[in-house]
């Protein structure tokens, strides 16, 4: 987001792009060199986006808090890469974008949506209970949507069990702060007869202790980010609305705290879902798929031909693709191919991992239709694909029209040369573009 209006642009550090190398006195490979009014970034090599992002990170590390991008060469993608590197967990603004190519308004929209998602993900678990997460997501969508275009339903606590949403209820019942399901209906036509074109489903685990399959301290310390899927799909919907979305879309957030208490769900419990599927709990730390199952069935009830879910679901995805990529799973290969193209167009690294119908059988149980994982560390080999296979039990039409994003790149516990510590927002642009493109084509 841009600097405050009290600062005139002439008072800000001016950041420009230089085509030539820095003067020798700054070193043979200097990325930045000072000018009379600020700094210039010296781009060389075949990775300009990474170089620009690294320059933004370097300027933040110098303590710069306000700056202006100026001069020639600032494409939309370069400006956005700089913004991503420059911002940190305490400051989501400070960049005045260049409008030389008419991109400033779109970049401000991106910044607004990313700032919302990052703040939510970086908030402490104490600040962000399941109900508060749902309420803040609803408020943000209402703030960007046309008046009268949003309706919502919030179901919480024991009412979830009464309504048949047993996955969210069971995972969240160990906390004194009730679990919640938000079903938000964005309907710009404001007609009840308008078909739902898409549904977005987000994992909203506001804190994950692992339950009785308790995480070690080093694994639990970052679990405020386990609602990253909910924040990501909310921001993606908001961005699509800002960019002119005219189709009816359902936003479904599955919110809970996974804690230990005398009322928490336990190993050996069996959950019976709305569609009749029975699930034995062999790992209470494989809770994300349990809440998403409810969300996916809710999405299916809407009749939406496109269902996209996003979740910080498995450590296995991070092992497979690292912290720079999100993992994509789909049974609908033509749709997956298009989604990868959308991700590439938005410069968000995404990699497809294997998913076949037989992955549904990879977590067998002698007591239920399936277990929620394998009772081994990390869920065993192929854990991310097995989790996706579990989810595929709860989507319609054998997975046609369904995409699952495992958000391996959503959060960094520590800073590096390109990212500050905390949430990244990685995936928001991909999902927004997928939503806009796929629904407009129908």
Q: Catalytic residue positions?
A: 215, 289
Contacts of 76 (CB under 8 A, 6+ apart): 101, 103, 106, 107
Crossing angle, helix 104-122 and helix 130-144, to 10 degrees? 170
Tell me the CA distances in angstroms from 369 to 266, 277, 280, 281, one per residue in order: 18, 6, 8, 11
- Kindly provide the b/e burial profile for residues 162-184, where b requires at least 16 CB atoms within 10 angstroms of the residue's own CB: ebebbbbbbbbbbbebbbbbbbb
Contacts of 46 (CB under 8 A, 6+ apart): none
Tell me the CA distances in angstroms from 108 to 80, 115, 229, 230, 241, one per residue in order: 10, 10, 22, 22, 14
CB 369 within 8 Å of CB 277 = yes
CA 111 to chain centre: 15
CB 209 within 8 Å of CB 220 = yes
Size of the chain, expressed as the number of residues it contains:
442
């Amino acid at each position: 987001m841009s600097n405050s209006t009290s600062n005139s642009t002439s008072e800000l550090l001016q950041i420009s792009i230089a085509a030539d190398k820095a003067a020798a006195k700054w070193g043979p490979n200097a990325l930045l060199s000072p000018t009379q009014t600020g700094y210039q970034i010296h781009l060389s090599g075949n990775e300009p986006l990474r170089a620009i992002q690294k320059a933004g990170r370097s300027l933040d590390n110098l303590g710069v808090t306000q700056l202006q991008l100026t001069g020639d060469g600032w494409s939309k993608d370069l400006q956005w890469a700089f913004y991503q590197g420059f911002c940190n967990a305490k400051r989501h603004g400070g960049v005045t974008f260049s409008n030389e190519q008419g991109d400033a308004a779109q970049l401000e929209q991106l910044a607004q949506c990313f700032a919302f998602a990052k703040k939510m993900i970086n908030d402490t678990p104490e600040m962000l209970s399941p109900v508060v997460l749902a309420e803040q997501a609803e408020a943000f969508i209402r703030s960007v949507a046309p008046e009268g275009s949003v309706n919502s339903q919030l179901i919480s606590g024991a009412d979830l069990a009464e309504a048949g949403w047993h996955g969210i209820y069971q995972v969240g019942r160990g906390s004194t702060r009730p679990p919640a399901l938000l079903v938000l209906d964005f309907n710009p036509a404001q007609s009840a007869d308008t078909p739902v074109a898409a549904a977005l489903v987000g994992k909203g685990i506001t804190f994950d202790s692992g339950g009785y399959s308790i995480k070690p301290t080093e694994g639990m310390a970052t679990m405020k980010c386990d609602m990253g899927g909910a924040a990501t799909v909310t921001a993606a919907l908001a961005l699509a609305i800002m960019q002119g979305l005219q189709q009816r879309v359902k936003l479904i957030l599955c919110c809970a705290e996974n804690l230990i208490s005398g009322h928490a769900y336990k190993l050996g419990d069996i959950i019976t879902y709305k569609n009749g599927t029975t699930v034995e709990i062999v790992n209470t730390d494989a809770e994300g798929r349990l809440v998403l199952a409810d969300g996916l069935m809710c999405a299916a009830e809407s009749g939406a031909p496109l269902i996209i879910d996003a979740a910080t679901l498995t450590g296995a995805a991070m092992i497979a693709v690292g912290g720079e990529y999100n993992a994509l799973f789909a049974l609908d290969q033509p749709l997956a191919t298009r989604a990868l193209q959308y991700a590439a167009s938005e410069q968000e690294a995404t990699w497809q991992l294997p998913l076949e119908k037989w992955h549904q059988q990879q977590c067998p149980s002698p007591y239920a239709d399936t277990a929620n994982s394998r009772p081994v560390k990390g869920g065993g080999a192929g854990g991310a694909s097995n989790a996706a296979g579990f989810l595929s039990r709860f989507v319609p039409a054998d997975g046609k029209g369904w995409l699952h994003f495992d958000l391996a790149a959503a959060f960094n516990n520590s800073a590096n040369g390109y990212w500050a510590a905390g949430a990244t927002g990685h995936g928001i642009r991909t999902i927004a573009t997928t939503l806009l493109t796929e629904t407009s084509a129908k």
